[in-house]
Amino acid sequence: KAGVTQTPRYLIKTRGQQVTLSCSPISGHRSVSWYQQTPGQGLQFLFEYFSETQRNKGNFPGRFSGRQFSNSRSEMNVSTLELGDSALYLCASSFWGTETQYFGPGTRLLVL
Amino acid sequence: AQKITQTQPGMFVQEKEAVTLDCTYDTSDQSYGLFWYKQPSSGEMIFLIYQGSYDEQNATEGRYSLNFQKARKSANLVISASQLGDSAMYFCAMRGRPYNQGGKLIFGQGTELSVKP
Q: Within 10 A of A108 (CB to CB), how many other CB atoms are there?
A: 16
Nearest to B25 by CA among B95, B87, B80, B90: B95
State residue B103's pLDDT score: 67
Evaluate if residue A44 carries a pLDDT over 90.
yes
Residue of B96, B88, B75 lying closest to B2 (CA atoms): B96
Q: Which of A33, A42, A108 sits opposite B103 (nearest CB)?
A: A33
Within 8 A of A50 by CB-CB distance, chain B residues are: 102-103
One-letter amino acid for residue B108 of the chain:
G
Q: Which of B104, B106, B111 to probe by mutation at the A interface, max A CB count within 10 Å?
A: B104
Contact B102 A32 (CB under 8 A): no
Q: What is the pLDDT of residue B98?
A: 52
The predicted structure's pLDDT at residue B16: 97
A28-32, A84-88, B28-32, range with the lowest pLDDT? B28-32
| Cα B92 from Cα B103, distance rounded (Å) | 15
pLDDT in the model for residue B90: 98
Q: Could you say which of A42, A48, A105 has the minimum Cβ distance to residue B102?
A: A48
The 10 Å CB-count burial string (b at 16+, else e) for B16-55 is: eeebebbbbbebeeeebbbbbbbbeeebbbebbbbbebee
Amino acid A75: pLDDT: 98
d(CA B80, CA B71): 25
| Position A95 confidence tier, pLDDT thresholds 50, 70, 90 | confident
Give A96's contacts in chain B (Cβ within 8 Å): 99
pLDDT for B60 = 95
The C-alpha atoms of residue A57 and residue A59 are separated, in whole angstroms, by: 7
pLDDT value of position A99: 80
What percent of chain A stands above pLDDT 70?
Answer: 97
- State the pLDDT at residue B30: 85
Listed as ranges, residues in chain B with pLDDT below 70 are 96-103
Of A43, A11, A33, A20, nearest to A109 by C-alpha is: A11
Number of H helices, E strands in chain B: 0, 12
* pLDDT (tens digit per residue) in A66-77: 999 999 999 999
> What number of helices (H) and strands (E) belong to chain A?
0, 11
Mean of pLDDT values over A30-51 = 94
How many residue pairs bridge chain A and chain B with CB atoms within 8 Å of each other?
Answer: 70
Q: Which of A8, A35, A30 is nearest to A20 (CA)?
A: A8
B22-50 pLDDT, tens per residue? Answer: 999 999 888 889 999 999 999 999 999 99
